[in-house]
Amino acid sequence: MLRQLLEILLEIFENNKTILKEKGWIVSSKTSYEWWDGLKSEEEIIISAILVQMSRWEIVKNKVEEMRNKGLTDFYKLYNTSEEELYSVLKGINFYKTKVKRLINISKIVVDLGTIEKFYDRNLLLSIDGIGQETADSILLFAGHKPNFPPSEYGKRVLSRVLGTSIKKKDEVKRMVEENLEPDVYKYKLLHAGIVTVGRAFCFTKKPKCEDCILKKVCKYYGENSL
């Protein structure tokens, strides 16, 4: 039942790529990095995942492009860059000084590991300052192409309403998806991108825009409140 619903959601998201794109999700191949608004590399996704916390995506994207142009999205170069130089690049992002320290720490970890592939270890990620569950799973899925579904507030709200139930914790969303969908990286990416898009575009906490929502035909909340 839940598996069927998740497959239906995937079909709806597949048919609404334009709306996902408007919200910054570029539906691409399983191993593309472009899902995150056209980013170019796994390093850029890891850096963005740290910078975007409590910051606006538009600002973060500009800063990542600036880092790319200066060669600072290479972890070896990042590790050998001073905090002061990074401050001057990332000033304007919320908590940029803390985030600079976190980025330098991450670059050191990757350099010490010798290969970025070893970085895609959930326990390792969760032990790093500034990386919580949602960030860890986002990095694993979108940078490492590992089938880990990111728990999110959007997932909790959207799936609660679609299913007509009350999902209490973000973790439950992760568990529900991973227990009911085969570990397919493309499907996990598309489902996460679609759910976040619906959460940002239609499914607001107060006064959701159900009439415009791409999920209204399968949404229990809409079915029960649209008369």
Residues making contact with ligand SF4 (CB under 6 A): 158, 161-162, 198, 202-203, 208-210, 213, 215-216, 219, 221-222
Instruction: Output the smallest distance, CB 180 to ligand SF4, in A.
Output: 18
Q: How far apart are CA 96 and CA 213, in angstroms?
A: 35
Instruction: Output the smallest distance, CB 192 to ligand SF4, in A.
Output: 15
Instruction: Output the smallest distance, CB 178 to ligand SF4, in A.
Output: 21
Closer residue to ligand SF4 in complex, CB, 36/202: 202
Closer residue to ligand SF4 in complex, CB, 36/154: 154
Closer residue to ligand SF4 in complex, CB, 109/210: 210
Instruction: Output the smallest distance, CB 41 to ligand SF4, in A.
Output: 33
Q: How far apart are CA 57 and CA 43, in angstroms?
A: 17
Closer residue to ligand SF4 in complex, CB, 75/154: 154
50 with 160: CB under 8 angstroms?
no
Residue 36 phi, psi dihedral angles, 5° rounding: -85, 75
Q: How far apart are CA 148 and CA 134, in angstroms?
A: 10
Instruction: Output the smallest distance, CB 141 to ligand SF4, in A.
Output: 22
Closer residue to ligand SF4 in complex, CB, 144/208: 208
> Three-state SS for 45?
helix
Residue at token pair 């608004």 = 37
Q: How far apart are CA 39 and CA 61, in angstroms?
A: 8
Q: Estimate to the nearest angstrom the gap between the alpha carbon of 93 and the chain centroid.
A: 18
